[in-house]
């Protein structure tokens, strides 16, 4: 299905959010990552179960240097 | 003689106590090692970070792994131009870092990097209501600062000068007035160029100083970090000791009686 991932078009075979994160070797057990789908924050506990929908806009963020 | 009495904390924010009044940023250092060395030399216990998209193209070195455990991380909403984006970013930061602390920045335009006060107040009210400890970056305007404090912000952080300029404290009279009027901690944020600026902020009554560029872009960031640690401590001591009033005419400091030939 086609989704938007961090602002870019992306085609994925993943059905669930956790599978999409695994595509990028993002370890769900490690702190420091947060995910929003269509501007709604997805709590970490829901990552394994939440289903992706075509057209979803997904943002995966982490802390970066900042002032 | 060993001191048995517990010294009061230098800075308390949202019920959490710190022994340094300096808060430091993590951006713009020549490299990661210099950042770590400078942060250690600064004595800062609170370090700001931004929240950005993960780079999906390759391996990722984690800032959290480097700093967590050693510092209280303070995520910012830098780059956000609307209350909506700032609130979402604060929520993402809470999820990523497990902290309800946020340095709230809502920027009005790219040229001045001044806060958009209308959006800032809106975001602050929402976040404070949602249980965030909001440290609000704001204009050096006593009215706005008071509104932010009344909303329950954990700290109010007026700018000394525009972000990254190093111009120091452009309106010390306003900063002093803000410190006098507020019971919430006032932290001077942005504009610091060198150590004397940081000392002045504390002398004016600020509870703390947040800076980044002045250390990160100095010729010797570790040396400047040390200078800032000393400056903030010296400014605080001077404030507590009470400076002499300014006079407009000379007043001799040596005794006037007993002069020879008198």
Q: What is the pTM of this model?
A: 0.92
- DSSP element (H, E) containing B230: helix B221-241
Alpha-carbon distance values, B138 to B2, B65, B161, B169, B189 (Å): 42, 30, 11, 14, 8
Alpha-carbon distance values, B4 to A45, B1, B7, B237, B243 (Å): 47, 9, 9, 21, 29
A11 three-class SS? strand
Question: What is d(CA B182, CA B138) in angstroms, rounded to the nearest whole number?
Answer: 14
- Residue A66 is predicted with a pLDDT of 94
Is residue A17 within 8 A of residue A47, CB to CB? The reply is yes
Burial B195-234 (b: 16+ CB within 10 A, else e): bbbbbbbbbbbbbbbbbbbbbbebeebbebbbbbbebbbb
- Residue B4 is predicted with a pLDDT of 55
Domain parsing of chain B, residue ranges: 16-54+62-241
- Residue B101 is predicted with a pLDDT of 98
Q: With 90 as the cut, is the pLDDT of residue A46 above it?
A: yes
Enumerate the residues of chain A whose CB falls inside 8 A of the CB of residue B93: 34, 63
Question: What is d(CA B11, CA A7) in angstroms, rounded to the nearest whole number?
Answer: 40
- Residue B216 is predicted with a pLDDT of 97
- Residue B262 is predicted with a pLDDT of 74
- Average of per-residue pLDDT across A6-24: 93
Q: Is B63 an 8 Å CB contact of chain A?
A: yes
Q: Annotated catalytic sites of B, by residue?
A: 103
Q: Is A50 an 8 Å CB contact of chain B?
A: no
- Average of per-residue pLDDT across A7-18: 93
**Which residues in chain B show pLDDT less than 70?**
1-6, 59-60
- Residue B95 is predicted with a pLDDT of 95
Q: What is the CA radius of gyration of chain B?
A: 20
Q: Is A6 an 8 Å CB contact of chain B?
A: yes
- Residue B256 is predicted with a pLDDT of 84
The CATH architecture assigned to A2-61 reads: Roll (3.10)
Q: With 90 as the cut, is the pLDDT of residue A17 above it?
A: yes
Enumerate the residues of chain B whose CB falls inside 8 A of the CB of residue A67: 25-28, 48, 50, 76, 78, 163, 212-213
Enumerate the residues of chain A whose CB falls inside 8 A of the CB of residue B73: 63
Is residue B186 within 8 A of residue B207, CB to CB? The reply is yes
Domain parsing of chain A, residue ranges: 2-61
Q: Chain B: nearest CA to A50, how far in angstroms?
A: 16
Superfamily of chain region B16-54+62-241: Aldolase class I (3.20.20.70)
Q: Give the position of tokens 């004595």.
A: B43
- Average of per-residue pLDDT across A5-23: 93
- Residue B62 is predicted with a pLDDT of 82
Question: Contact A31/B92, CB-based, under 8 Å?
Answer: no
């Amino acid at each position: 299905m086609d989704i938007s991932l961090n602002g870019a078009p992306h085609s994925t075979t993943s059905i669930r959010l956790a599978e999409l994160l695994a595509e990028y070797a993002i370890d769900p057990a490690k702190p420091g990552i947060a995910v929003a789908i269509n501007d709604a924050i997805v709590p970490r506990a829901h990552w394994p179960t939440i289903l992706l929908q075509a057209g979803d806009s997904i943002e995966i963020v982490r802390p970066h240097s900042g002032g | 003689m060993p001191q048995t009495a517990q010294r009061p904390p230098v800075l308390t924010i949202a019920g959490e106590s710190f022994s340094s009044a300096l808060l430091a940023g993590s951006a713009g250092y020549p490299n990661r090692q210099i950042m770590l060395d400078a942060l250690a030399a600064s004595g800062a216990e609170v370090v700001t970070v931004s929240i950005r998209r993960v780079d999906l193209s390759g391996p990722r070195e984690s800032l959290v792994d480097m700093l967590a455990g050693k510092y209280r991380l303070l995520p910012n909403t830098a780059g956000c131009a609307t209350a909506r984006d700032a609130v979402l970013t604060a929520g993402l930061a809470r999820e990523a870092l497990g902290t309800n602390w946020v340095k709230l920045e809502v920027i009005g335009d790219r040229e001045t990097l001044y806060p958009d006060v209308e959006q800032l107040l809106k975001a602050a009210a929402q976040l404070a209501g949602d249980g965030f400890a909001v440290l609000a970056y704001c204009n050096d305007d006593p009215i706005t600062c008071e509104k932010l404090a009344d909303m329950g912000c954990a700290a109010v952080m007026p700018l000394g000068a525009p972000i990254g300029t190093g111009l120091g404290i452009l309106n010390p009279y306003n900063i002093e007035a803000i410190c006098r009027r507020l019971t919430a901690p006032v932290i001077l944020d942005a504009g610091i160029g060198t150590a004397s600026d940081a000392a002045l902020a504390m002398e004016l009554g600020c509870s703390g100083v947040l800076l980044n560029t002045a250390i990160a872009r100095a010729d010797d960031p570790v040396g400047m970090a040390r200078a800032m640690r000393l400056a903030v401590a010296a400014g605080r001591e001077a404030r507590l000791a009470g400076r002499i009033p300014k006079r407009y005419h000379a007043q001799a400091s040596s005794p006037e009686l007993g002069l020879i030939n008198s």
